[in-house]
Amino acid sequence: MTRAIENKQLSSLLNELKASLVNLYGDRLFSLILFGSQARGEATPDSDIDVMVVLNDPVNVAEEIYRMSDIGWHFMDEYGELVSIIPTAKSAFLDSAISFIRVVKREGIEL
């Protein structure tokens, strides 16, 4: 899960996103993982930016999506990029029985 991000604009955006999420969550933030086409190096100009936000338990997914919505809109306004932020509980992330999380772990880049 540890690879370098080649695209400088993407790297800059992700650094700003990470700072925003660290500011929002502090110690609740366990990990940030870029996944999907951007992580695989298969992104097209129309690709979104998929980021899993792993939070220390407990996590109410609906509440966290709402809490992060202003951050997502900021990146749409500032960069013209759709950032799909997926909140996940640390306990679910560490549970390899969930196939979606296994894919994120396999192809993702930890930020």
Concatenated DSSP letters for 57-105?
A: SP--HHHHHHHHHHHHHHHHHHHS--EEEEEEEHHHHH-TT-HHHHHHH
Which residues are bridge partners to 55 per DSSP?
29, 89
Any idea what DSSP says for residue 45?
Answer: T
Which residue ranges form the domains of the chain, and what is each CATH number?
A: 27-110 (3.30.460.10)
Q: Give average pLDDT by consecutive 10-residue segment, the chain, 111 residues.
A: 65 94 97 95 91 96 95 90 94 89 94 94
Residue 14 parent element (H or E)? helix 8-25
Q: Are 14 and 5 in contact (CB under 8 A)?
A: yes
pLDDT score of 96: 74
At residue 98, the pLDDT reads 87
